[in-house]
Amino acid sequence: MKLDTKVVHAGLKPDPTTGSILPPIYQTATYVLEKVGQDKGFDYTRSSNPTRQTMEEHLAAIDNGKYGAAFASGMAAVDSCLKLLKAGDHVICSDDVYGGVSRHFNQVLVNYDLHFSYVDSSDPVNVENAIQPTTKMIWIETPTNPLLKVTDLEAVGKIAKNHDLIYGVDSTFATPVFLRPLEFGADLVMHSTSKYLSGHNQLIGGVVITNREDLFEHLKFVQKTIGAVPSPFDCWLTILGIKTLDLRMKKHTENAQSVAEFLEGHHKIGSVTYPGLPSHPMHHVAKEQMSGFSGMISFELTGGITSGKKVMNAVQLIQLAESLGSVETMITHPATMTHGDVPKEERLARGLTDGLVRLSVGIENVNDIIHDLEIALEKA
C-alpha cells in the first residue's frame, strides 16, 4: 500500500458489530469479564483501550513500524522513552530540541541521575565524540524546533549501532509523510500528535513507534504503570486527522516553499531558515532523506526583535500562537513562547536569538498568507 492509501486505511477495518466505517469511541474505564481469569485483551483503559489500540496500529503502519504506544502528550511520549534508562545513564541529545524537551531533561530528569550532553547533531562526528562509557541513548530531533537543523539519520544510526545505543528520533516536524526514521536505523520514533498528525489544533497527544519488541514491551509497561494515556475521544480525533495527513502535508510543504522564497527575497528580512531552500546548510541531506520539507520556517528581520515584534503583532490572517502543524498558519516568538523557559544564556549559546520568528505555514491559499506577511512587514 502506498502512503496516501495507508493514511486512510492501514490498521483500520469496519466495526465487526455494526459495520461502522469509523472505529467506535470506546469511552469506558473498564471491561466486564464473564469469569475470573478471562483474558479479553482489555481489562482497564489505563492499560489498553480498543480505540487507542486502533490508533496505535494505524500510526505504526504509516511509520512502517510494528508497534505503537500512545501517550497523553508529546512530552509524556518523550518521558516514556527516557524511562527505558536507569540512574547513572548518559544521553546525547541534539542541541536545538524543543524547549519543553530540554526543560524536562535539564530540570526534571537530571534529578533522577540521568546525564545529558547536547551536540550539534547535524555533524554526526559531534555525536560520536560525545560518547562516554555510560552513554545509553542518542536522542535526535530533525528538523529541529525552532532552528530547523537537519541530522543525517543514517550516519547517526550507524554510530548508535556500533556503540549499541538506543536511537530515538523526534520526527514531529517531518511526519511519516516525509520521513520514516525507522528506515534509517532508529529504534524509536516519537511524534507529538498535537501537531501535524491530528492537524487541527484539536488535542494534545504523543506516540512512540518501534520495531523492537523489547522496547515496545517496556513502553507498554510504562504506559499502563504511569497512565499518561490519551482519552479514547482524542485517539478517535487523531485517527480522523491522520486520514488527511498526506493531503495536508503536501499543501503545507508547497505553501511553505513559496512563503520561504518570498521571505528570502524581502528587503526587511535578514535571514530565512527552511530545509527546502538551497541556502539551508543541510539542504542536501534533507533532500536525500525527506520526500518533502514540511511547513516550518524560521526567520529574522534586519531590524531584529523590535521589527520582529511589529510583524507578529500586525498579522491578521496568521495567528500569533504557541504550537504548530495545524491547518491555520501560526506565528510564534520562540524566545518568549516555546523556548521561554530555556535560560537566556543557554538559548543564545544555541543560536536562538531574541529576534527569531517561527512560522508554521498552514493550508490556506498561499497568496493570502503572503499578502498578510507583506502588509505586516510594511509596518516593521
- Annotated catalytic residues are 46, 98, 170, 195
Longest dimension (CA), the chain: 74
Nearer to ligand PLP, 294 or 307 (CB): 294
Residue 100 contacts ligand PLP per CB under 6 A = yes
Cell digits of residue 180: 520514516
Range 63-92, binding ligand PLP (CB under 6 A): 73-75
- The residues, ordered by sequence, that sit 6+ positions from 272 with a Cβ below 8 Å of its Cβ are 260, 263, 264, 279, 297, 298, 299
Least gap, CB of 133 to ligand PLP (angstroms): 29
- How many helices and strands, by DSSP H and E, does the chain display? 14, 12
DSSP characters over 182-248: GGGT-SEEEEETTTTTT-SS----EEEEES-HHHHHHHHHHHHHH-----HHHHHHHHHHHHTHHHH
Residue 141 contacts ligand PLP per CB under 6 A = yes
Least gap, CB of 338 to ligand PLP (angstroms): 6
Nearer to ligand PLP, 176 or 206 (CB): 206
Q: Which stretch binds ligand PLP (CB under 6 A): 93-101, 216-224, 280-288, 360-368?
A: 93-101
Least gap, CB of 14 to ligand PLP (angstroms): 30
Q: Which stretch binds ligand PLP (CB under 6 A): 97-105, 153-161, 210-218, 274-282?
A: 97-105
How far is 52 from 177, CA to CA, in rounded Å? 21
How far is 274 from 38, CA to CA, in rounded Å? 54
Q: Which residue is nearest to ligand PLP (CB)?
A: 74
Q: Which stretch binds ligand PLP (CB under 6 A): 79-87, 95-103, 247-255, 276-284?
A: 95-103
Q: Name the residue with cell 461502522.
A: 20
Could you say which of 168, 181, 206, 362 contacts ligand PLP (CB under 6 A)? 206
Of how many residues is the chain composed?
380
Q: Name the residue with cell 527516557.
A: 82
Strands 115-119 and 90-94: parallel
Range 13-42, binding ligand PLP (CB under 6 A): none
Q: Which residues pair with 189 in a beta bridge?
A: 169, 209
Least gap, CB of 62 to ligand PLP (angstroms): 18
Cell digits of residue 124: 554526526
Residue 145 contacts ligand PLP per CB under 6 A = yes
Q: Which residues pair with 333 in a beta bridge?
A: none
Cell digits of residue 319: 495567528
Nearer to ligand PLP, 136 or 339 (CB): 339
Least gap, CB of 175 to ligand PLP (angstroms): 11
Range 160-199, binding ligand PLP (CB under 6 A): 170, 172, 192, 194
Nearer to ligand PLP, 100 or 308 (CB): 100
How far is 225 from 220, CA to CA, in rounded Å? 8
Q: Which helix (H) or strand (E) holds 301?
A: strand 296-301
Least gap, CB of 134 to ligand PLP (angstroms): 25
Q: How many chain residues are in contact with ligand PLP, going by CB under 6 A?
A: 14
Least gap, CB of 336 to ligand PLP (angstroms): 15
Residue 204 contacts ligand PLP per CB under 6 A = yes
Q: Is 113 helix (H, G, I), strand (E, B) or coil?
A: coil
Residue 238 contacts ligand PLP per CB under 6 A = no
- Residues in touch with ligand PLP (CB under 6 A): 73-75, 98, 100-101, 141, 145, 170, 172, 192, 194, 204, 206
